[in-house]
Amino acid sequence: MVARLIDEEPDNAYAYSKVALRLASRVAAVREAAGFAAYATQRYSEALAEFRAARRMTGSVELWPVMADCERGLGRPEKALEMAGAPDVHKLDKAGQVEMRLVAAGARRDMDQLDAAIVTLQSPELASNSVQPWTARLRYAYADALLAAGRKGEAREWFAKAVEADRDSSTDASDRLAELDGVEFVDAMTEDGDDEVAVEVEVEVEQPVEGKADDQD
């Protein structure tokens, strides 16, 4: 039930996780599920405790990136960066290493180190043309960091690349790209007034003619 509800109903998933903990707190999978349920509801201290318990039980390092992100949630980006440089990171698989890079970049942004965040995301995985499960999120994070640094042209390019890789709509890259292109989506009523349809409106700003004063009524 935690797995079924965590995306759409995180509070209910959290409630189920508490029941599971009462019934089987010595099972690593239960502690991990409870950690993710707490994480989804922004209970970062509780999530971190559950992830640490699961890690002690299994000896696995796969939870290292999400544990570091909990440190960010607790307002400790420096600790997240320390974890990003720990030896455990080298034991992660490729997906875990990419996730750790995303967390580290987020920590840099928490500390207002935008240029460092951009550099952190620059990697062979970002440059690769192959599409992996993490590609869309990595490109999106890079585009967002570029935009935050005022590099709008480059940001647009990478949001477009994120859209290309986002086959399951895991990000809102298409909306961000449309926003940069001055496209606005509004709701409009059909003629019978019953059904709503999406209408794409391109916003254009009329430029004043040089040397000509505005007409007055």
Task: Check which CATH number belongs to the domain holding 53 and give it.
Answer: 1.25.40
Band (182; pLDDT cuts 50, 70, 90): confident
70 located within any domain:
no
200 has pLDDT over 70: no
How would you classify residue 111: left for phi > 0, otherwise alpha for psi between -120 and 50, otherwise beta?
Answer: alpha
State the pLDDT at residue 193: 52
Alpha-carbon gap, residue 95 to 87, rounded angstroms:
16
172 located within any domain:
no
Residue bearing tokens 């043309």: 129
Alpha helices in 25-134 (DSSP H): 28-40, 44-58, 64-73, 77-84, 94-110, 114-121, 124-127
Strand partners, 201: 184
State the pLDDT at residue 183: 78
9 located within any domain:
yes
214 has pLDDT over 60: no
Q: Both ends of the chain: CA-CA distance in Å?
A: 65
88 has pLDDT over 60: yes
Name the percent of the chain lying above pLDDT 70. 84
217 has pLDDT over 80: no
48 located within any domain:
yes
140 located within any domain:
no
4 located within any domain:
yes
Alpha-carbon gap, residue 59 to 52, rounded angstroms:
10
Which token pair is 207?
Answer: 């430029």
Q: What is the pTM of this model?
A: 0.81
* Average pLDDT value over all residues in the chain: 89
1 located within any domain:
yes
212 located within any domain:
no
How many independent structural domains does the chain possess?
Answer: 1
Element (H, E) at 183: strand 183-189
User: What count of other Cβ atoms lies within 10 Å of the Cβ of residue 125?
Assistant: 18
Band (186; pLDDT cuts 50, 70, 90): low
Alpha-carbon gap, residue 102 to 187, rounded angstroms:
35
Contacts 24+ apart (CB under 8 A), 11-16: 11/41, 13/37, 13/40, 14/38, 14/40, 14/41, 14/43
Domain that holds residue 38: 1-60
